[in-house]
Amino acid sequence: MYLKVKKKYNRILIKGIKNQTGTLPDLKQDYLNESAPAMLAAMRYSRSFIPTLRDAPADAEVTSHKLLLRAGYIRRVTSGVYDYLPLALLVLRKIEAVIRDEMNRAGAQELLMPMVQPGELWEKSERMEKYGPELLRFKDRHSHESCLGPTHEEVICDLVSRELRSYKQLPMNLYQIQNKFRDEIRPRFGLMRGREFVMKDAYSFHADEESLAAEYKNMFEAYTRIFTRFGLKFRPVEADTGSIGGSDSHEFHVLAESGEDLIAHCSGCDYAANVEKAVSVRASTSCEQAALNMVETPGVTSVEDVADFLSVDIGLLVKTLVYRVNGGEHDGAIVATCVAGDDQVQEIKLAHVLGADSVEMASDDDIASIGGITGFVGPQQLSGRVLVDMRLQGATGLVAGANQPDTHVTGLDITRDIAEPEFADLRETRAGDVCERCGGMIELSRGIEVGQVFALGTRYTEPMEVIFQNQQGKRSVATMGCYGIGVSRLMAAIVEQCNDEAGINWPLALAPFQVGLISMGRSDAVRDTSETIYRQLADAGIEILWDERNERPGVKFKDFELIGLPFQIVIGDRGLKDGEVEIGWRQQQRKTVAVADVVNIVLTELHATEANS
């Protein structure tokens, strides 16, 4: 077996050397792919695995999901878990190459950690319970608690804690590109929200806060370069730190209608934040002070219906929502919250205010336990905490539920009628709000979160004992940052921004093949000319897919448009009679060039475009 492999390898090597001399090698077609350098591919369509579909499966909702399925890039294995077919892997590798390049340039070092992680580490960081059901847990045959890594703070802290001795080893930034598993409650949109997905995750360790701040900036800039190199319309925004903890955080969002996140940004300054975190101002609605008065509102519960029924502005209503607190100091508590009728409670902000992991809507029984009635809850006379949005501070003449069936109150005065209101910023920022920083107008856009950077401080290094001897010879806890990019989600996000009615419109640098060569007809002349051009371009390092199938030209054109190859060469008998072939960029008018010139012209066009991008 070994000898056989070795013999074959030598043969390829010899062919490879001949290739470099510039003579056209007499290759059997089997070897053409094998002799191509890594990352470069030349492929015949008839031998490739590109299962395109005429129609997108019915369950594909967003463009990228539909196109990646139809164009034969991905297939679903089970909920949120996908096969990356050869075309997808070629693109993924190119995305990874750009990320690696910029991470290495920024001074980070690549390593690879395991996907299976021991439960003890998660106990130590106190995240075993906290992380919730997204952490897929299992026991191995020795009954050891284990889990599939959704992220790697625990494993990297464990590693670094065992090797770190002195401040002289700091700072350090280690990264990997690896599959993660999160048992997402609603995996959807194909690669956008999978359960198993590819992430680039980096972790930096520092002797002090200044060093962490410098690395945070360094990574922020590296991310900006990465997403710029992909030609994406993106925006970095201030972000909530979520379950990962820490202080400072930014998310990078690709702007797209299909994005799951809502981003608030100011038209007057550079303030931008995820609505989970965004702060903004809106004038409070208040009217004249009046006595508290009961009004019958039989069966009228929603704020819109109550406003209609009583003919008052919806902003004068108080929306009272009751929540159950999960995690933190107040775990299990039932709290009431109030926002103006035209506002929404931002639950992530609320969880933050409460120091909780999350909040969930309370049950009817929970509501009754604090003296409320579902559908008619009001903040007055409730037992327990009442959190009131700052916009309602001092407001009078409001309408709220009366905590009695089919009844509301009018004339509610926040200061007078609520026993101990706790004011906090609970409302979700809306378009048209005023920017706190500059007074400009807030706008909202949808975004796909493709990356996030966190200044974690000592949230993990403290419990995981990442300790070193500082310059003064004292034991000190390292500070830490972490920096993620959703590599597979990025592929979907790029398709969301780069597509048209015919299919995917890959930027040249990311396409699985730069050139698609279509042979029309089955004459010897077409075949021989195609093969010569195919080999010459492949030898010149061009990634080329040659459609030599016995299919109608229409089918071939459709497939190339769908899979999104940027440049096309079309060879047919009609042109060859005059010694000509057609070339052109995808979706643009093709031009006619002489067979003898085609390779040079294609190389020039591709290189010129590469240089400009």
The one segment of 84-92, 450-458, 575-583, 586-594 that binds ligand ATP by CB under 6 A: 450-458
* Residues facing residue 410 across a β-bridge: 293
- Of 381, 452, 449, nearest in space to 421 by CA: 381
Number of residues forming the site for ligand ATP (CB under 6 A): 16
415 phi and psi angles, rounded to 5 deg: -70, -40
405 close to 297: Cβ distance less than 8 angstroms: no
Least distance CB 487 / Mg ion (angstroms) = 14
Q: State CA 309 to chain mean position distance.
A: 43
Instruction: Work out which of 182, 319, 391, 459 binds ligand ATP, going by CB under 6 A.
Output: 182
**Cβ distance to ligand ATP smaller for residue 151 or 218:** 151
DSSP-derived secondary structure letter, 133: G
64 binds Mg ion (CB under 5 A): no
Name the residue with tokens 């403290």: 462
Task: Judge whether 22 and 540 are in contact, CB under 8 Å.
Answer: no
CB of 95 closer than 8 Å to CB of 491: yes
Interacting residues with ligand ATP between 528 and 567 (CB under 6 A) = none
The residue among 220 and 423 lying less far from Mg ion, judged by its C-beta, is 220
Give yes or no for residue 484 binding ligand ATP (CB under 6 A): yes
274 binds ligand ATP (CB under 6 A): no
Asked if 190 is part of the footprint of ligand ATP (rule: CB under 6 A), the reply reads: no
Residue closest to ligand ATP, measured at CB: 486
For residues 536 and 538, what is the distance between their CA atoms, to the nearest angstrom?
5
Under the binding rule (CB under 5 A), the answer on residue 530 touching Mg ion is no
Is residue 563 helix, strand or coil? helix
Residue 576 C-beta: closest distance to ligand ATP, Å = 47
- Residue 515: HSE in the Cβ half-sphere, 13 Å Cα cutoff: 33
Token match 């009272």: residue? 320
- Which x/- pattern over 346-375 shows residues binding Mg ion (rule: CB under 5 A)? ------------------------------
Site string for ligand ATP, 198-217 (x = CB under 6 A): -x------------------
**CA 349 to CA 361: how far, in whole Å?**
15
Whether residue 324 contacts residue 359, with contact meaning beta carbons closer than 8 Å, is answered with yes
Query: Which one of 22-30, 87-95, 254-262, 445-453 is the stretch in contact with Mg ion (CB under 5 A)?
Result: 445-453
Nearer to Mg ion, 207 or 493 (CB): 493
193 binds ligand ATP (CB under 6 A): yes
* DSSP state letter for 508: T
Distance CA 420, CA 414 (A): 10
Binding partner of 176, given ligand ATP, Mg ion, none, CB within 5-8 angstroms per partner class:
none
Tell me if 487 sits within 8 A of 92, measured CB to CB.
yes
- One of 380, 452, 461, 488 touching Mg ion (CB under 5 A): 452
Applying CB under 6 A, does 452 fall inside the site for ligand ATP? Answer: yes
3-state secondary structure of 418: coil
Within residues 130-159, the interface with ligand ATP by CB under 6 A covers: 151
CA dist 596 and 36 (Å) reads 24
In three-state secondary structure terms, 189 is coil
Query: Closest separation between CB of residue 140 and ligand ATP, Å?
Result: 25
**Of 335-343, 387-395, 400-408, 450-458, which part binds Mg ion (CB under 5 A)?**
450-458
519 belongs to the binding site for Mg ion (CB under 5 A) = no
Give me the residues that bind ligand ATP (CB under 6 A), please.
Answer: 151, 182, 184, 193-194, 197, 199, 242, 449-452, 484, 486, 488-489
